[in-house]
Amino acid sequence: MKRILSLLIVLLTAFCFFAQAQNNTISGSIKDSATGRPLVGVSVFLNGSSKGTVTKADGSFVLGGIPNGRYEFIVSAIGYETFLREFSSHSLPLVFNLRLGEKASELQAVTVEPYLKDGWEKFGKFFIENFIGTTPNASDCKLENRKSLRFHYYPKSKRLHVTALDPLIIENKALGYELEYRLESFDYDYESHIVSYYGYPFFREMTADNDGQQQRWEQSRERAYLGSLMHFMRSLYNGHLQQDGFIVEHEIQVPNIEKARVKAIYTPNVTKNDSIPIDTLHHYWEVLREPDYYTQKIRSFEGLLTLKPDQTRSLFFTGDCTVIFGNGRLGIAYTESAIELMTGHPVIVEENGGYYPPNEILTKGNWSQTEKMANLVPRDFGMYGNEIKLIPPSHPDLMP
């Protein structure tokens, strides 16, 4: 009887794991919208992750093992329009039977918006420094197909705009990834000095020459992850900022107590001034010209994240949110970064470290240098039960 019970438990457990694996999938087929023929070799992947596949001879695909969180599902083929659909792992499994339309040819694009023939000579170095980066990892990165880039400069608005005909292929020998990046837009505003770009990266792990190289890659990936914006967002989501070694300073609105007191006892042109000394009146007039609230910066995690009724987590703050990170025991120097909400609207933070909308956050300080292609790890990094084990911060003066 005990053997039968044990066997049932094993079978039930196996069934549960199988069912979960079946549920964490996206499947479907890809065809040409004009001819209806199946498209083979089409890239199907999760934006910013290492989870991807290609379509078979009949245009079908199955993408499994999707970790928890919110992602963008991307379907991309050279010569065709890119398909994008946001989804949450809670909505899995999903089925997409798609028909892709052809993209406008390069000749048509040039007719609408001509590009600079000598763009790489003029702006190539600037693009590499602001897209791939200038960190030590960047020296071990190589852009394989720079000829796909198209540079556009607009003198009136003083803006540089860069696009790419094909996915950019970046070999990152520092972290052991081949990065396939579908660049949608890269912009630099010469007035504000703000660089912004967006696209759809897909990570493929490179094959190491030996065990030592693989180990070095794994250590380098952990170093790139620690203190990154993705690490910060994951820690924020899970409420682990302090134990993960992050220190946060952000602005809050503090009521002007003195102004509230004066308004309660004195109203200009209404309250009689006969019994009020002149120096007191002057004080009242000065206080009433002050704002109702003062902006004060505090070192606290409180108030940054709000749990909404639908269980999503919303990040909101005013001004800049300063983030300090370092770990002396791991030899990671303390650095200071900051983020700003571009339009002043909240962003949704996900379990996997993603946030939406992605173009709402402007990075400053250290993150403005490190949040480039050379230092990126895939969104599914550490999402398979092998989370990074952090050593508590060792500097007592930097504890919140």
In this prediction, residue 396 has a pLDDT band, given cuts at 50, 70 and 90, of: very low
Please name which of 230, 236, 245 lies closest in space to residue 379, comparing C-alpha atoms: 230
Are the C-beta atoms of 346 and 236 separated by less than 8 Å? no
In this prediction, residue 388 has a pLDDT band, given cuts at 50, 70 and 90, of: low
Measured distance CA(157)–CA(196) in Å, rounded: 15
Same-domain check for residues 341 and 226: yes
Same-domain check for residues 270 and 346: no
216 SS3 class: helix
Residue 212 inside a domain? The answer is no
Residues 30-76 pLDDT 10s: 999 999 999 999 999 999 999 999 999 999 999 999 988 889 999 99
Same-domain check for residues 148 and 55: no
Q: How many domains is the chain partitioned into structurally?
A: 4
Same-domain check for residues 52 and 116: no
Measured distance CA(188)–CA(131) in Å, rounded: 11
End-to-end Cα distance, the chain? 57
Q: Quick check: 124 pLDDT over 90?
A: yes
**For range 24-35, the mean pLDDT:** 95
Q: Quick check: 394 pLDDT over 80?
A: no
Same-domain check for residues 167 and 50: no
In this prediction, residue 194 has a pLDDT band, given cuts at 50, 70 and 90, of: very high
Same-domain check for residues 236 and 362: yes
Q: What is the CATH number of the domain that holds 24?
A: 2.60.40.1120
Same-domain check for residues 140 and 173: yes
Measured distance CA(203)–CA(175) in Å, rounded: 11
| Full residue range of the structural domain in which residue 263 is found | 257-290
Residue 213 inside a domain? The answer is no
Measured distance CA(10)–CA(379) in Å, rounded: 33
Residues 295-312 pLDDT 10s: 888 888 888 999 999 889
pLDDT above 70: percentage of residues in the chain:
88
